[in-house]
Amino acid sequence: MKCNKLVDAGRRQFLRGGMAATAGAVATTVMTPEQARAQALARVDYPASRLANIADLVVNEPMDIAYPDADSPGVLLKLGQAVEGGVGPDGDIVAFSVLCPHKGWLMSYSAEDQTLNCPGHHSRFDCESGGQQIWGHATSNLAQFLLSVDENGDIHANGIDELIYGRLSNVL
């Protein structure tokens, strides 16, 4: 009887230790100081900007835009199927910076595989997956503009999920 109690106490102690270790692991895998700094810099008050109307878009044809200011070129896309970060009735409208996160070259859209491609050192980014890098020298994913659509079908940009290349703050 006494032995069983000791076994139970030991098991409880083991479980408490396991939970504490798990909590510690969660706390220590949050982000590096550089990531925290980049994220803090990206958290600014963004302007709301009308980019276009849904009626202006054609599936798989890029529309040149700029956000949050004229010096930050981007592309507005209707991809034809619901995607990550997509808005509108079909969940397929997305927008990205077209400045390559590696060294800022201007990228172009490939309708063939719905990617943005850099002529500088050939990094490639998947527009169907939130601008995820799929090849190349860049060390971060593409900055995606956060969109909303109002009752008139107007598409608005309201923020950005990554730091735009060359900026210490997305809003200057």
Considering only 2-10, 32-40, 44-52, 131-139, which stretch makes contact with ligand FES by CB under 6 A?
131-139
Please, which of residues 80-109 interact with ligand FES by CB under 6 A? 100, 102-103, 105
Smallest separation, CB 98 to ligand FES (Å): 11
102, 122, 137, 156: the active-site residue: 102
* 140 touches ligand FES by CB under 6 A: no
Strand duo 73-78 + 93-97: pairing: antiparallel
Angle at the Cα of 107 from the Cα atoms of 47 and 33, rounded to 5 degrees: 60
Helix (H, G, I), strand (E, B) or coil at 41: helix
Between 51 and 144, whose beta carbon lies closer to ligand FES? 144
121 included as an active-site residue? yes
Q: What's the CA gap between 131 and 133, in Å, rounded?
A: 6
Contacting residue, 42, 87, 98, 118, with ligand FES by CB under 6 A: 118
One of 73, 91, 120, 153 touching ligand FES (CB under 6 A): 120
If we measure between CA atoms, which residue out of 66, 57, 61, 54 comes closest to residue 96?
Answer: 66
To which H or E segment does residue 23 belong? Answer: helix 2-28
d(CA 104, CA 100): 4
Beta bridge partner(s), residue 87: 93
**Closest approach of ligand FES to the CB of residue 123, in Å:** 4
Q: Of the candidates 121, 62, 54, which has an alpha carbon nearest to the alpha carbon of residue 90?
A: 54
The reply to whether 142 sits near ligand FES by the rule CB under 6 A is no
* 137 is a catalytic site residue: no
Which residue stretch of 10-18, 24-32, 115-123, 141-149 sits at the interface with ligand FES (rule: CB under 6 A)? 115-123
The residues annotated as belonging to the active site are 102, 121
Q: Which residues bind ligand FES (CB under 6 A)?
A: 100, 102-103, 105, 118, 120-121, 123, 136-138
